[in-house]
Amino acid sequence: MHFFVKVRPLNLFMRLPVFFGGVSLQQKFKKVIIQMKTAIFYSSSHGTTAKVAELLAQKMTNSQTQIFNLKKLKNADLTIFDTIIIGGSVHAGNIQSSVRKFCSKNMVELLNKRLALYLCCMNEPEFDVQFEHAFPELLRKKAVSSKIIGGEFLFGKMNFFEKAIVKKVSKVNGTVSKIDYSKIDEMAKELEVVTISGI
Ligand SMILES: Cc1cc2nc3c(=O)[nH]c(=O)nc-3n(C[C@H](O)[C@H](O)[C@H](O)COP(=O)(O)O)c2cc1C
């Protein structure tokens, strides 16, 4: 199983009970971590951020993962989740307002969770600036994993005005997919690694 536990200070101590016929503390912690619960809260305009949420959930094999669409969700109960992943996409320079509202409404609780953030967008020179603009600084600092995943121009799902904007601004005339799947793998891996410190 691809699973890593970094136990810093007393690694040896945690393995010691095995020599006396018991279960090591490390194994006990693995058991606890395997039962960890993850929630992915996302907002998506044409489906790309939703697709990324699904792929992430599939890759997070050591966690029970639930996915929530922020555009349909009225009240979020974060209490049962250990890890929260928030995803959104950029349209005309901004992330969805449902993501902004979710972040500000649940700020205190989010700061007490293991947090990860991802953003779908297509304007590569602006990737970092858009990420900074999309998520509040406190959450960006708190996040154990942050990824800019790229995105897609799905012409079949755009209305007349969206097509016109994309054609003019991005000089693109048809569907383009530029999802960086390696970033999804990286996030899933980074969230598998749990550092237990201070034991
Ligand atoms: C009308 C429109 C405006 C967009 N504006 C931006 C933008 O300002 N910056 C950017 O990086 N990407 C922009 N994009 C690209 C989207 O971020 C990309 O299509 C993303 O994959 C959308 O994900 P979603 O379908 O989950 O909303 C825009 C796309 C559309 C259709």
How many angstroms separate the alpha carbon of residue 27 from the centre of ligand 1?
Answer: 44
In 3D space, the residue among 34, 40, 37 whose CA is nearest the CA of residue 5 turns out to be 34
What is the value of pTM for the model shown? 0.85
Per cent of the chain over pLDDT 70 is 79
- pLDDT, one tens digit per residue, over 177-186 is 999 999 999 9
Cα 91 to ligand 1 centre (Å)? 4
Write down the pLDDT at residue 18.
57
Q: How far is the CA of 103 from the centre of ligand 1 (A)?
A: 20
pLDDT grade, residue 1 (50/70/90)?
A: very low
Q: Where are the domains of the chain?
A: 1-35, 36-196
Which is the closest atom of ligand 1 to the Cα of 42?
26
What φ, ψ does residue 159 adopt, rounded to 5°? -85, 180
Q: What are phi and psi of 60, to 5 degrees?
A: -90, 70
CB atoms within 10 A of CB 158: 17
Instruction: Supply the pLDDT for residue 22.
Output: 62
Which residue's CA lies nearest to atom 29 of ligand 1?
91
- Domain 36-196 carries which CATH code? 3.40.50.360
Ligand 1 atom having least distance to the Cα of 93? 8
